[in-house]
Structure 1
C-alpha cells in the first residue's frame, strides 16, 4: 500500500503546506519587530514551490519546496523618536508585512493541508477496501 503514487502526491503536498505554514507563522511573529538599522530588520520569508513527477505517469505531479526566499521589499520607516531602538534621526524600521494578507495566506495553507490529509485518508480507505475485497 505504501508504494501507491497518490500517497507520494498527498505527502509532498502536506510537507509543502507545512513549510508554508511555518514561514507564515514566522512572518506574523516578527510583524511588529523593529530595528534602528534598516539592514537589520526581519525580512519576510516565502517558500518557493516546484513540481516533480511521481512514478512513471507524466501527468501525476507532486510538489516540493525548492527554497525559501527573503523579501527584497524595503522596510517601513516610522518616526518614533522616543523608541529605545530609534536611530539618531528618531526613526525605527519595521518589516513590510501585511498581517491581514498573511492571515489569508495562513487560512489558504491550512485548508490546502487539510485537503491533502483528506485525500490521503480517502486513498488509504480505498486501498484497505480493495484489500478486503481481494481477501474474500
Structure 2
C-alpha cells in the first residue's frame, strides 16, 4: 500500500494503510505464463483479497480500481467489483482513449498538432 503526502510514499503490507485512501487498486494475482504458480500465489495473496470489509477500512467512500481482467472471488469479491464503488469499466474506457491519443501522437504528430492547433506552442514536437 502507498500513502502520499504530496511528495512521499510509504509502502506497507498492512491493511492499516487503507485508512483514508481515495481508491483501492489491485491487480491479478496470476499473470499469463505464471499458471503453474497459481496455488502458491493464491495462498500468499488471499489475505489481500478486496472484500466489502476491506473497502470499509478506508473509512470513506473509496473507489475500487483494477486493470482487468479480474479473477472474481480471487483478488476481488463479486460484491466489490459489482458495487457502485467500482470504476473498473470507466477506468478501462479511459485507458482506451489514452491509448488512441498516444497512437495518434506517435504515428501522426503533425496531424495531431494541427488538429489541436498546438503549432503556436514553442517547443512542441
State the TM-score, normalizing by the size of structure 2: 0.28
Instruction: State which structure, 1 or 2, has the greater radius of gyration over its C-alpha atoms.
Output: 1
State the TM-score, normalizing by the size of structure 1: 0.26
